[in-house]
Amino acid sequence: MKKITPVIMVRSLNVKRGGVTKASVKRANVLAKEHKEVIIVTFLFQQNYKKIIQEFYDKSLLEKNVRVVNFFEDLKPVKKQLKISRKQKKLHFVDEKGFIKFPVKKKGKELCYRYYKDGLYLKYKSFNEDGSIKFIDYMDASRHRIRREEFDEHGILVRTRQMDRNTNKPRLDQYFDYKGNCYLSVHVNPSTGKEGRAARFVTNPQEYEKLHNLQQEWFNTFLQGINYPVITCELRGLHKILREVKHDKAKKIEVVHTNHLKAPFNDKKRIKESYKELFQHADELDKVVFLTNEQKEDVESVYGQRKNFTVIPHSCQVDSESVGESNDYNPKLAVTLARYHEDKRLDEAIQAFKYVVEKIPDAKYYIYGNGPLEEYLQNLIEKLNLQKNVFLKGYTDTPKDIYIKAACSILTSKQEGFAMVITESMAVGTPVIAYNIKYGPEDIINNEINGCLVEQGDKQALANRIIKVMEEKGYRNKLSLNTAITRERFSEDKFEKSWLDEMKP
């Protein structure tokens, strides 16, 4: 039998992430049960890459036979960490000889300082929570930022970003190994942030028209060391690299994690450009995997039916001890686990909860997550006078413990690829009240059987369903018991079998 090696392509990994990262890691662990090695390949630069990956293993989030390989790390000629130099250590001190420093007020525990010399503002230093240096910005006499130096968790310089004077954005990135050698430089468009021309300075130095071309070359070289790679691409930004893989025995699979439609996500023919490229070249792939039947059918209504289109939904990981009718939950608590991002429309969920509180004054709504809209959401809570009812709880890595305590969970997203939070909630018997969006809710929820579907934007209807679940114990228990439908349809066994079958050459 051919010994195949699953290879999973993602941009990056981080422990405090859901969505694509969570799904990719879970699949890697499932495949690791049956395969000697599973490889996750990441293509994005991460300042503290080694620390991030080590955290996955330390927390037992990745099986030991799952190997993570990063493009930037693998390209380094010197990969072994060396002792930090005396000169570098001086940069790590908060106090610096010859400079007068002023603290910068920022949220969070990170420390930041501005440094002046002879009246000129010349440096800005940011330190991590543990006191280690994060980055240093350098200014010219006119206060224009000219470059940023970024350091890993050990204080080693890993990247320098040369800044554009007009936009104050990077225009050239230089990457360094542990000896301080620049092994790669990449031009960046300061207006768009897109990476362009790249130059590699290690073995056989070479220039490339685009960073993508170097990444493609590197990935093809990497795959030559694998006899039978089965490659899954998890993000559209990596699709072209998958398509251009040069390996006679490789199997190529594209996984569609997100909504392929343009806003407002209701016209089947208005397709995002990145997805047009995927579907137009779908015949060059062995499989295109969708997470829902609804999305597959929408794509086929435009591009026609394809033999290589299939559906493998996320699984519903069940804890049998915490499923079914339970009196341990708080009947007046609703929860949401989501990024604090505009796509999640948490402001609408909070506004809807205002109606809930008018009927149930001691009702509570806990929102777990992080993201750019934290301050905006907190201000909205205060504006609606909901400080005693609605709370931003921060990120959690134990979703089961959160869902099991709640009467229901709430989903108000603009768009999803599957909405894994629905199956996570139902896995412990907690019903979900969701906007009926594309894609996920309609595939998972049978309205008023195992959860509730509400028309998008109808905050009063959303509130009414929350109130009913909180006030009518029998109704809530019915929904909870019927989540068994979901657990059966999206079982772990079905998920594992489907993906193990897809791995066959």
- 331-363 pLDDT, tens digit per residue, is 999 999 999 999 999 999 999 999 999 999 999
Residues 378 and 468 in one domain: yes
pLDDT range class, residue 84, cuts 50, 70, 90: low
* β-pair partners for 165: none
What local confidence, expressed as pLDDT, does residue 328 receive?
84
Residues 292 and 327 in one domain: no
Mean pLDDT of the chain: 93
For 352, other C-beta atoms within 10 Å of its C-beta total 24
482 within domain boundaries? yes
Least confident of 92-106, 328-342, 397-411: 92-106
What local confidence, expressed as pLDDT, does residue 325 receive?
47
Least confident of 17-26, 78-87, 410-419: 78-87
What pTM was computed for the model?
0.90
More confident residue, 325 or 450: 450
Residues 112 and 29 in one domain: no
Task: Calculate what percentage of the chain has a pLDDT beyond 90.
Answer: 85
Taking alpha carbons only, the member of 425, 466, 458 closest to residue 334 is 466
Residues 365 and 480 in one domain: yes
What local confidence, expressed as pLDDT, does residue 81 receive?
65
Q: Where are the beta strands (DSSP E) in 54-156?
A: 66-70, 100-103, 111-117, 120-127, 133-139, 145-151
Give the count of domains, the chain.
3
| pLDDT tens for each residue of 47-67 | 999 999 999 999 999 999 999
What local confidence, expressed as pLDDT, does residue 402 receive?
96
Mean pLDDT score, 477-485: 93
User: C-alpha angle 284/286/287, rounded to 5°?
Assistant: 110
What local confidence, expressed as pLDDT, does residue 19 receive?
84
User: Are the C-beta atoms of 309 and 298 separated by less than 8 Å?
Assistant: no
Q: Which residues contact 39 (CB under 8 A, 6 or more apart)?
A: 5, 6, 7, 8, 66, 67, 68, 69, 226
CA–CA dist 121, 99 (Å, integer)? 10
What local confidence, expressed as pLDDT, does residue 51 receive?
94
Residues 333 and 460 in one domain: yes
CA–CA dist 335, 332 (Å, integer)? 10
The range of the structural domain enclosing residue 334 comes to: 320-489
Task: Calculate what percentage of the chain has a pLDDT beyond 70.
Answer: 94
505 within domain boundaries? no
Among 311, 333, 356, residue at a domain's last position: 311
497 within domain boundaries? no
Q: Is the pLDDT of residue 282 over 80?
A: yes
pLDDT range class, residue 428, cuts 50, 70, 90: very high
Residues 216 and 280 in one domain: yes
Residues 97 and 153 in one domain: yes
502 within domain boundaries? no
Q: For the domain that residue 145 is a member of, what is the CATH number?
A: 3.90.930
182 within domain boundaries? yes
Q: What is the DSSP string of 361-420?
A: TT-EEEEE---TTHHHHHHHHHHTT-TTTEEE----S-HHHHHTTEEEEEE--S--SS-H
Q: What is the DSSP string of 233-298?
A: E-SGGGHHHHHT---TT-EEEEEE-S--BPTTS--TT-B-HHHHHHHHTGGGSSEEEES-HHHHHH
Mean pLDDT score, 432-437: 98
Among 283, 311, 339, residue at a domain's last position: 311
* β-pair partners for 123: 115, 138
What local confidence, expressed as pLDDT, does residue 86 receive?
60
Residues 242 and 298 in one domain: yes
431 within domain boundaries? yes
CA–CA dist 325, 329 (Å, integer)? 10
496 within domain boundaries? no
Least confident of 87-91, 226-230, 469-473, 493-497: 87-91
Q: Which residues contact 321 (CB under 8 A, 6 or more apart)?
A: none
Residues 326 and 287 in one domain: no
| pLDDT tens for each residue of 239-269 | 999 999 999 999 999 999 999 999 999 899 9
Q: Is the pLDDT of residue 232 over 90?
A: yes
Q: Is the pLDDT of residue 109 over 80?
A: no
For 190, other C-beta atoms within 10 Å of its C-beta total 18
Residues 325 and 398 in one domain: yes
